[in-house]
Structure 1
Amino acid sequence: MDTQHVLITGGAQGVGLEIARRFLAQGARVTITGRNKARLAEAMAELGESDDAGQFAGDVADEDAVKALFDAATAARGPVTVLVNNAGISGSAPLGRMTTDHFDQMLAVNARGPFLCSREAAGPMGKNGGGRIINIASTAGLKGYAYVAGYVASKHAVVGLTRALALELAGKAITVNAICPGFIETPMTVETIRNIVEKTGRSEEEARAELVKFNPQKRLIEVDEIADCALWLASDAARSVNGQVIAIDGGESA
C-alpha cells in the first residue's frame, strides 16, 4: 500500500475515518475531505501528525470544489490511485411531505458526488497505469425502504453508476466496485435513531431495535467491517473484482 494515494470523501467521521485510519496503517498516503472544517480538524488530530495524511474542506456535489480537491490532493501527495466515494447524507419523510429540495439534495450528495469525483479521478488513473474506485452505497441501493424514497433513489443510482463505470473503465486497468452496508454503528445511524424517537415517540432502545431487526444477525454493522472490505478491494488480490456490489448486511439482502 506504500505506493497508494487514497482519497476518501466524507472522511472526517464514521466509516470514512476508519477507512482512512486503516489505509494509513498499511503505509498509504491519505487525503480526507468533508464539508465541516472543525470535524476535519478533529479527524486529522485522531489520525496523527504525518506528511502522509491531509485534509481538504469542500462539497462533493459542487463541480468546482471537486476539481479543487483533486488538484490540491495531487499537488500534496501525488496522483490519486484509490478513490473511496464515502460522503453521503440521509433523511426521511413520507412521500406526500417529501420536498423536491430534499429529493434533489439526496441525489446531489449521494449520486452526483460519486459521479464528479470518479470523473475527476479516472483520467489521471488511466494515464498512470490504473486505479481503484470504491463506492460506499447501502442496502438501500439493493432494495426499498419506506419513508426514504430520496435516499433509496440516490443509492440505487450509485449502484448503477458503479456497474456502468466498471465496464467503461476496465480497459484502463481501473476497477469500480460498491460496498452496500446495512445499518452501521455510525453518527448517521445515531441521527436516524434520533429521528425515529422524535417522530414516533418510541424510546431510543426501541428505535435502535427497529434498525437491528433488519439484520438477520440481529446487530448493527461495525465500521471496521466496511474498512476491511475497502482495503481488500484496493489490494492486488482484488485486481479482477470489477463491477461488483458487495452487501455487508448480515444476510438482509439474501
Structure 2
Amino acid sequence: MDLELQDVHVLITGASGGIGLEAARVFLQQGAKVTAHYNTTASTIAPLVEEFGSERVFPAQGNLSNETDTARVFTEAQRALGPVQVVIINHGVWPTADEPVANMSLQRWQSTIDTNLTASFLVAREYLRQLELASEALKEKASILFIGSTSGKYGEAGHADYASTKSALMYGLTLSLKNEIVKIAAQGRVNCVAPGWVKTPMAEEALKDPVIVYRALASTPLKKVASPWDVATQIAVLSSAKLSGHVTGQCLMVEGGMEGRLLNRQASDGTLEDY
C-alpha cells in the first residue's frame, strides 16, 4: 500500500539498530528520505546508504542530550535532504541492572532521564522551531512520533527510571504537544507507539533469561516477542498523513495484547511469593 511518503523527509533518532534501523528501512521502501541519527556507531547505517543512495539517506551523528548537537543534527539534515517533515523520536537506554528506587543512585536516575526524556524534549523542540520556517506544503505532513514502552503503562520494578521516562513521552509530552503543534502546522500530529519486549540488541541479553521471557509472555495472548518489523510498520502507518491524518494524541500499544505484569508466583505450600 502506498502511504504517500514519497520524498517526505523523515528524521529518526537512534537509527543505528533495533527498531530505529528497521523503521529507516521501512520508510525508505516507501520512497521517503531518511536522516538516520546515531550517537556512536554508524556502521549499521552504511548498508542503507549503499542500497538507497546518499541522496536519500543521510547519517547524522549527535549527542541529543546536548542542545548544540541537537540543533546541528537538524541543520545538517536540512542541508542534506531538505526540511524535516516527520520526526521519529526513538533513541533511548534501558539500564540492564535491576535497581529498586531505594538503591538507585542519583547518577543512574539522571543519566536515564537525560538520555530518554530530556533529549526527546530537545529533539521535539528543535523540530518545532524548524517547522515554523517550513512552507505550508511541507507542513501538511508534519508529524512527531515518540517510542514509548509497556513499562510506561504498567511500570517496571527495578527500572523505575526507564518506566518514568516512557510514561512522560506516552502521556505528558504526546498529549501536550498535540495541542501545540497545530499552532505551527494546522494538520500537524503527535502520536506514540509503545512496544513491549522486542528482539533488539538492547533487549538481547535480558531475553536469554527464560524467566524474563516467561514473565513477558504469560499475560500476552499472542505468546511471542515482537520483531523490530512489527513495530516499524506501525510507526510508518501512524506517520502517514494519508492513512492516519485524523489520528493525533494517541498511544498505540504494540505488545501482543499484554494485560499487565506478573508480580507473584505460587509457592509449594500454595502461598504467593515474589518472582
Return the TM-score normalized by structure 1. Answer: 0.90
Shift of 1:211: 2.8
Change (3 A) 1:82 1:210: same
1:31 and 1:105 map into 2 onto residues whose CA distance is: 25
Is residue 177 of structure 1 aligned with residue 191 of structure 2?
A: yes
Is residue 237 of structure 1 aligned with residue 243 of structure 2?
A: yes
1:214 and 1:140 map into 2 onto residues whose CA distance is: 14
Among candidates 90, 99, 103, match of residue 105 of structure 2:
99
Aligned match of 1:134: 145
SS at match of 1:95: coil
Among candidates 172, 186, 189, match of residue 203 of structure 2:
189
Aligned match of 1:81: 85
Matched letter for residue 128 of structure 1: S
The structure with the largest alpha-carbon Rg is 2
Return the TM-score normalized by structure 2. Answer: 0.83
Shift of 1:3: 2.7
Q: Any conservation in 2 of the 1:85–1:133 contact (CA below 8 Å)?
A: yes
SS at match of 2:44: helix
Aligned match of 1:144: 155
Shift of 1:60: 1.4
Aligned match of 2:13: 9
Is residue 154 of structure 1 aligned with residue 165 of structure 2?
A: yes
SS at match of 2:249: coil
Q: Any conservation in 2 of the 1:20–1:32 contact (CA below 8 Å)?
A: yes
Q: Point out where structure 2 has 5 or more consecutive residues left out of the alignment.
A: 261-275
Identity %: 30
Shift of 1:210: 3.2
CA RMSD of aligned residues (A): 1.7
Matched letter for residue 225 of structure 1: D
Please, which moves more after superposition, 63-72 or 49-58?
Answer: 49-58
Consecutive aligned runs of 4 or more in structure 1 exceeding 4 Å deviation: none
1:95 and 1:142 map into 2 onto residues whose CA distance is: 18
Among candidates 221, 226, 229, match of residue 224 of structure 1:
229
Deviations 1:90-131 (A, max 9, x none): 123122221111111111111112111111111232433321
Q: Any conservation in 1 of the 2:65–2:115 contact (CA below 8 Å)?
A: yes
Change (3 A) 1:214 1:190: farther
Deviations 1:69-95 (A, max 9, x none): 001000000000010000010123122
Q: Any conservation in 1 of the 2:92–2:116 contact (CA below 8 Å)?
A: yes
Please, which moves more after superposition, 182-191 or 13-22?
Answer: 182-191
Q: Point out where structure 1 has 5 or more consecutive residues left out of the alignment.
A: 195-203
Deviations 1:107-166 (A, max 9, x none): 111111211111111123243332111101111121212111101111111121111001
Aligned match of 2:114: 108
Among candidates 16, 22, 29, match of residue 26 of structure 2:
22
Q: Any conservation in 2 of the 1:3–1:28 contact (CA below 8 Å)?
A: yes
SS at match of 2:205: helix
